[in-house]
Structure 1
Amino acid sequence: MAEALHLGAKAGARAVCVLVHGRGQSPEEMQSHILARLAVPDVTFVLPRAPDGTWYAAKAVDPLTTDTRAALALALDHLAADIAAARALHPGLPLVLAGFSQGACLSLEYAFAGLPAPEALVALTGCRVGVLADDRRRALAPDLPVWLTGSDNDPWIPVEAFAEAALELGRGRARLRAALYPGRGHEVSDPEIAMLHEVLDGIHR
């Protein structure tokens, strides 16, 4: 399994953030595109690394196939192992699971799979993998704080998929905050950085 990148506070950390990169990206790109724009010196970061830079081959909005389910299961095992390792390295600290694009989608699937829940989830341009008609896990931890963002101008996550994710999070009784940024391209905007900063700055068990 590809090794995660560990950054941020080494001692005296107040919280842990597991930040998952998108399709064709790397932990180093998350460092330059997101972490460099945050001012949270007392947070330690764990950035998982997908084999070949991709968590699964299909588009998130395609109907689930046998191959996609298998790839998604492997990706979830990978993410779960990195989260468990982060918990073991930093026992007792609250953990925020965050991701961008495909990383946001994988983070949502992690939460819906009923795996050990983070203290908060931040899905920057994310949706469920598959379509509403698919047989998907819906074992979301009730009252999980979730921040979901999207755009009406994103080529990977259309606004309909963003809305469907919000619907499923609502049905799963998440404590949901959703924000849509009209005209924003496939990127993490300054308001989204500010929102992530607010989550990390205020997280506690």
Structure 2
Amino acid sequence: MTKLGAAVLKGNALESAKVICILSHGRGQSPEAMEDDILRRLDAPGVAFVLPRAAGKSWYDAKAVDALTEKTKAQLSDSLDVLRALVAELPAKTPVVMAGFSQGACLSIEYAMHFGPWNGALVAFTGCRVGTLDDERPAKDVTGLPAYISGSDADSWIPISAFSEAVQELGAARARVRADVFPLRGHEVSEAEISVLQNTLTHFTESAGLPW
């Protein structure tokens, strides 16, 4: 199991951070990819970033929209345990923004639906639930949890239908949801999405309003 010491730490020191962002990478990616694709585009004083690393660069082998198998359930459980272990080692009262891209976004959504709510927010760039509507999937009451989820009608990994199902399930779980669809956007994080993360972090560091 990955512990905090094995994750990549960037930004402010954990002990003095006003907010901590756990940012999970996508399939075939790495913490370094998240640093290059997302962190370098942020202006985030007062924010500590924790970037977990998946074994073999994948949080689970199946596609997110595949029906759940026992193997996928076990892999997903192990990956969620990675996030839980990280959270357990963070300063207890510091807000946490659980964020991710693609497979990392799916993992972050599953964390919310398994273990939420918490003091902080969810930011899922191009994500959905793992599995199908026919699967038994946890759906905790996450009343009031700020949850941002984005998608595209042209993304090759997360179909717009699966994205829409995740929005509906987060809403049914009583999260405070903002959902953005970016027509024709490829499998990437746009500047508009970066702006949402920027403003979400600023909400916690400067007591500014949430961007939704």
Confirm or deny a common fold (TM above 0.5). Answer: yes
**1:37 maps to which residue?**
41
**Cα deviation digits, residues 146-204 of structure 1 (max 9, x gap):** 00000000000010011000110111011000000000000000000011000000027
**Cα deviation digits, residues 115-173 of structure 1 (max 9, x gap):** 56351000000000001111110114211110000000000001001100011011101
The runs of at least 4 consecutive aligned structure 1 residues that moved more than 4 Å come to none
Map 1:102-113 onto structure 2 (within 5 A).
102-113=103-114
Q: What is the deviation of 1:46?
A: 0.4
- Identity of aligned pairs, percent? 52
Q: In structure 2, list runs of 5 or more residues that go unmatched.
A: 208-212
Partner residue of 1:22 out of 20, 26, 40: 26
Range with bigger deviation, 54-63 or 138-147: 138-147
Report whether the alignment pairs 1:166 with 2:167: yes
Determine the C-alpha separation between the residues in 1 that align with 2:141 and 2:150: 18
**Cα deviation digits, residues 43-68 of structure 1 (max 9, x gap):** 01000110011000000000101111
For 1:69, give the aligned amino acid: K
**1:192 maps to which residue?**
193
**1:65 maps to which residue?**
69
When the two chains are superposed, the root-mean-square deviation of aligned CA atoms in Å is 1.5
For 2:81, give the aligned amino acid: D
Determine the C-alpha separation between the residues in 2 that align with 1:145 and 1:116: 9
- 64 and 76 in structure 1: CA distance in 2 versus 1, 3 angstrom threshold: same
Using structure 2 for the length normalisation, give the TM-score.
0.91
Determine the C-alpha separation between the residues in 2 that align with 1:111 and 1:118: 12
**2:100 maps to which residue?**
99
Give SS of 2:115's match.
Answer: coil
For 2:127, give the aligned amino acid: G
Q: How many residues align?
A: 202
**Equivalent residues of 2:117, 2:145 under 8 A apart:** no
**Equivalent residues of 2:117, 2:143 under 8 A apart:** no
**1:123 maps to which residue?**
124
Report whether the alignment pairs 1:4 with 2:4: no
Using structure 1 for the length normalisation, give the TM-score.
0.94
Q: What is the deviation of 1:114?
A: 2.4
